[in-house]
Structure 1
């Protein structure tokens, strides 16, 4: 039988090195890697010449919020829209969150809701659970999730009254995740510090979005990370910190890893590209996220730590609100929605900051963008170009750069924090599950073919004691 697809003359870049070869695809998986010069290549229904471009594994975005209800707000993109945007940006697998929309929704119900909504997905989707409040029913709900391959649970240490879990809940859930061989995801900001800062800013009439960075200082993140690491040490729970923004937070996680504990750091492209000066711009709403952007020195320190190998993954923290939602209560950061659209720009934004800006090797970029998110989250068939892995592939010219224009993006919003910024590393051709879905820049809608992907546990993967990076 002929191959479905053959990519010839490819420079394949994996996290562990490069290979010049031809790549064969059949039945949705990588069927063969053929050295250049190999005579009598297999016949293929379609051939794409990859000369002059780099071929990397499809991206795994381990932190996306799709059709998420939080308080009075709902994010605007459906799974069809979000995954279409992901594919345009070289991401072929997203991991979403089943976060209870309020006290009336249980963790299991939130997960079931997301499993139903993702039926329209254009690429593969995995899922994190979430717990807000502990009760005697939670262990059985977590067991139900684990049996279906939902092997991680997110907890917030802030956002009192909506998504925040108290310390008792965090300890209980961590113990359950150890029992179920799962991973605890943490949004780590110290709520008492934030509440006090917000009260001070309210007294001084400084609650507009231009003061967002003052309401959520860096110390709130650093203090919370240290507290959560102590709880993780006590319970023995592997822990993954989302969207870290400060060098001190990353250093704390690295120290835990040096002690042999399974602790992981994630950051996002916007924290590598922007500093808190954006809140003095004419459109501060475009940068309203939690945690906020940090001072320039902190951004530089964070970039250093990514370059040194102290950060594990780059995720988008995609949250798709539009400017109308953002501006409705931009006078009061307590009432406005926080979160930025980013699933489509994750690849070029990270590539520009790290490879173009810091001289990071493309291999290390692949580790952050695809390989480590797949490995840490138990997605065995993702993140590597090798025989038997899913045929999720991104072909791109690393020298091609163009400015971001939100009108030409595909996320369900009317802005990007990167509007007007020139970025390099845009995908030209994307293969998802063996299908060419971005064909030399033209989107070919595959239909609702996205699968829910169950994940393996932490001990199953050998990640219970994380590797120590020097």
Structure 2
């Protein structure tokens, strides 16, 4: 007997839309039956009533239980993975970033692997290297053996998580050898340090001046420099949280030269501008890069809708307002990062439909573009097996939603383990109504159903597999799929 059927679904994949009944067994999509056929028998049937059904979201950029200096985010995997499911995301990707020089990249990843045992949804990990030594190649080999095939490095945060250019170049060479992917936080450190020092000398170092201390040029200069290194080595590179159209255009130009480069952005760079730093609560918006001018936001949204941005991630960092307000007088001393794993779906969807000029009835083309940004793109780029599409054999990670439904964000009522949201009071469209994760219904009209610590640590394939398209899962033992 089929375990679950999603009947009368408007099935939206990144490459097309159809109608049908989705059959689910053993956590995977067993089959898709034409909508003209009778609804198959099952233990449970959920009637989608013609609403959109999309692949479960993949958030490629989350920070869970992260220690940075003297601050630690307030979440754990149980909290963040539950909030992800509330928001239609069924796979999160976290970072094993060494907390200080006493923790190696391999130890950081192993520690995160242990913490992830409490996850309610699937988890994949990125590694991170801060400084190079002779043990790094063997550690990267070990990470690849764990299915961790990407490494993040920061081009800023001097004295903390920053990697120097020699380290970046050497790690890129190793990732090419391992057929992996280099993730980069691109901001030009020397420019930022100098600009920050100039503002501090004038007494303009409070949170209301954050956007002035990290200019757009610093981001774009760093992107250009890293792209040159990737082109020199011939290795793929992925830029996190791009906040300017210029940074995206540099990646687009590099791709035209044959560089395998990817642009990620976050919803807060699409829906908020630097006017927030003159608001009543500017500490709600402490993140790096900061929000940009309204003109920059408008141009970035055009890239988001056009296809030159490849993924929408949250950059989720779960600090609360007590932590944020401890040193609002000095941006150098306060924690940066915003909660967003739960609001990624409606905020990204809202930004997309606003830019496309869609009304309450959303076209197939816009829905398919959203699936690409929200699920298929992150799955393919990160070579996540069985993710990113509603096709037989793939994981039964599904979201039912009404593109016309809107809700006003109440940060205190969300489930991320903090007491605010940067989208507080904003009306957003595209909230999930039903979420299926690994074949389990975790959200429906009756509320949230905690599945327990069932999340799996997903081992990723090589980039060569990713270049061929979405990566199929291995067959279930003893059962053809």
2: distance between equivalents of 1:64 and 1:463? Answer: 26
1:380 matched to 2:385? yes
Query: 1:4 aligns to what SS in structure 2?
Result: strand
Instruction: Give the whole-Å Cα distance in 1 for the aligned partners of 2:446 and 2:103.
Output: 41
Normalising by structure 1, we get a TM-score of 0.97
Question: SS of the counterpart of 1:45?
Answer: strand
Q: CA deviation at 1:342?
A: 0.1
Could you tell me how far apart the structure 2 residues matched to 1:138 and 1:442 are? 46
Equivalent residue, structure 1, for 2:7: 8
Instruction: Tell me, in whole angstroms, the C-alpha distance in 2 between the residues paired with 1:463 and 1:99.
Output: 30
For 2:465 and 2:286, the matched residues in 1 are separated by 38
Alignment of 1:275-424 (within 5 A): 275-359=273-357, 361-424=366-429
Question: Alignment partner of 2:42: what SS?
Answer: coil
Other structure's SS at 1:46 match: strand
Contact 1:213 1:293 in 2 (8 A): yes
Deviation string for 1:115-140 (max 9, x for gaps)? 00001000000000000000000000
Residues 94, 125 of structure 1: 8 Å contact kept = yes
Partner SS state of residue 329, structure 2: coil
Task: Report the Cα distance in structure 2 between the residues aligned to 1:164 and 1:346, rounded to whole angstroms.
Answer: 27
Give the superposition deviation at 1:355: 1.7
1:429/1:436 contact within 8 Å kept: yes
| Distance in structure 1 (CA, Å) of the matches to 2:104 and 2:313 | 26
Task: Determine if contact 2:147/2:459 at 8 Å carries over to the other structure.
Answer: yes
Q: Which residue of 2 aligns with 1:445?
A: 450
Q: Are positions 1:29 and 2:28 aligned together?
A: yes
Corresponding residue of 2:69: 71
- Structure 2 CA distance for aligned equivalents of residues 293 and 244 of structure 1: 11
Deviations 1:204-236 (A, max 9, x none): 101100000011110000000000000111111
Q: Is the 8 A contact 2:98 2:108 kept in 1?
A: yes
Counterpart Cα distance in 2 of 1:50 and 1:275: 37
For the Cα contact (< 8 Å) 1:245–1:271, is it kept in 2? yes
How far apart in 2 are the matches of 1:410 and 1:463?
37
Aligned to 2:168: 170
> Match of 1:452, SS?
coil
Match in the other structure for 1:462: 467
Q: Are residue 212 (structure 1) and residue 210 (structure 2) matched?
A: yes
CA contact (8 A) 2:95 2:125 kept: yes
CA distance in 1, matches of 2:107, 2:208: 37
8 Å CA contact 1:429–1:441 kept in 2: the answer is: no
Quick one: distance in 1 between partners of 2:123 and 2:172?
Answer: 24
Do structure 1's residue 263 and structure 2's residue 261 form an aligned pair? yes
Number of residues of Structure 1 aligned to a counterpart in Structure 2: 462
Per-residue deviation, 1:441: 5.8
User: What TM-score results when the alignment is normalised by the length of structure 2?
Assistant: 0.95
Q: Counterparts of 1:42 and 1:292 in 2: how far apart (Å)?
A: 51
Q: Give a deviation string over 1:251-285, Cα, whole Å, max 9, x none.
A: 00001111111100000000000110000000001
> C-alpha displacement at 1:460, in angstroms?
2.8
Task: Give the whole-Å Cα distance in 1 for the aligned partners of 2:36 and 2:239.
Answer: 45
Name 1:468's counterpart in structure 2.
Answer: none
Secondary structure at 1:391 match in 2: coil
Q: Which residue in 2 is equivalent to 1:105? A: 103
**Is this contact kept in 1: 2:303–2:309, CA < 8 A?**
yes
Alignment CA distance shift 1:98-1:341 (3 Å): same
| Preserved CA contact (<8 Å) 2:25 2:439 | yes
How far 1:357 moved relative to its partner?
4.3
Q: Within 1, Cα distance between the matches of 2:181 and 2:292?
A: 28
Gaps of at least 5 residues in structure 1 are: 465-470
Q: For the residues of structure 2 that align with 1:234 and 1:384, how far apart are their CA atoms?
A: 34
Which digits, 9 at most, give the CA deviation of each residue in 1:41-65, with x for residues without a partner?
4320000010042100000000000
Query: Which residue is 1:467 aligned to?
Result: none
- Are 1:126 and 2:131 matched, yes or no? no
Deviation >6 Å, runs of 4+ = none
